[in-house]
């Protein structure tokens, strides 16, 4: 994840926030809002995303004093809040993750690409994205979660391990299996990889 601040600066902002500095928390919000939004966006219905993201930051602000530097990074702590809210959302709804929302995000990417590149390249990108969306929708939930965290939100393995409650060696195995499963699905779709 391309954070606007390094971990030390984020920890300083957290400390100031724990002392009641709402401006410091506003800076934390600015650093994490896009990544948290993407994380939630890929998991819930579009009309629910903004509400859940708002709740993530509200819970973060309310519980900022519970965060302790050391065992987990702040980014893992806040993503864990988002992860738990998504789980609670689906427990309440008794629904399944709607992977078709990927289509909307990728559509924006395609439109941007269309403005900047040749039509042939755009057609290829469009086709590839449709195949990828379908393939991701067939993956096991843990593999889907890993791919979104790693390749869309660009989190480190350490952060993903903290968010998913796994150790890093288990995560390496998960990465291998997730990519293998995705490769198998893409090959079944006759997608040349």
Q: What is the pLDDT of residues 47-64, one digit of tens each?
A: 888 999 999 999 999 999
DSSP annotation string for the chain: ---SS-HHHHHHHHHHHHTT-HHHHHHHHHHHHHHHHHHHHTTS-HHHHHHHHHHHHHHHHHTGGG--BTTB-HHHHHHHHHHHHHHHHHHHHT----TTHHHHHHHHHHHHHHHHS-HHHHHHHHHHHHHHHHHHTTS-HHHHHHHIIIIIS---HHHHHHHHT--HHHHHHHHHHHHHHHHHHHHHTT---
- Once rounded to an integer, what is the mean pLDDT over residues 89-101? 56
Q: pLDDT tens digits for 115-166?
A: 554 554 444 545 566 677 677 778 888 888 888 788 877 888 888 888 888 8
The string over 87-112, giving b where at least 16 C-beta atoms fall within 10 Å of a residue's C-beta and e elsewhere, is eebeeeeeeebebebbeeebeeebee
pLDDT band, residue 4 (cuts 50/70/90): low
The pLDDT value recorded for residue 128 is 61
pTM greater than the 0.75 cutoff: no
* pLDDT higher than 70, residue 99: no
pLDDT at 2 over 60: no
């Amino acid at each position: 994840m391309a954070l606007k601040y390094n971990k030390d600066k984020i920890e300083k902002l957290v400390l100031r926030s724990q002392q009641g500095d709402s401006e410091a928390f506003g800076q934390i919000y600015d650093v994490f809002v896009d990544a948290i939004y993407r994380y939630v966006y890929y998991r819930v219905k579009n009309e629910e995303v903004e509400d859940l993201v708002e709740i993530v930051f509200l819970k973060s602000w309310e519980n900022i004093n519970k965060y302790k530097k050391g065992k987990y990074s702040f980014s893992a702590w806040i993503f864990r809040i988002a992860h738990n809210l998504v789980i609670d959302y689906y427990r309440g709804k008794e629904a399944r993750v709607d992977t078709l929302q990927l289509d909307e995000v990728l559509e924006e990417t395609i439109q941007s690409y269309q403005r900047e590149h040749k039509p042939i390249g755009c057609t290829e990108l469009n086709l590839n994205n449709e195949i990828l969306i379908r393939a991701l929708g067939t993956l096991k939930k843990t593999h889907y979660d890993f791919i979104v965290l790693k390749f869309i939100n660009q989190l480190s393995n350490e952060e993903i391990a903290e968010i998913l409650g796994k150790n890093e060696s288990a995560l390496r195995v998960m990465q291998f299996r997730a990519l293998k499963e995705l490769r198998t699905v893409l090959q079944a779709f006759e997608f040349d990889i």
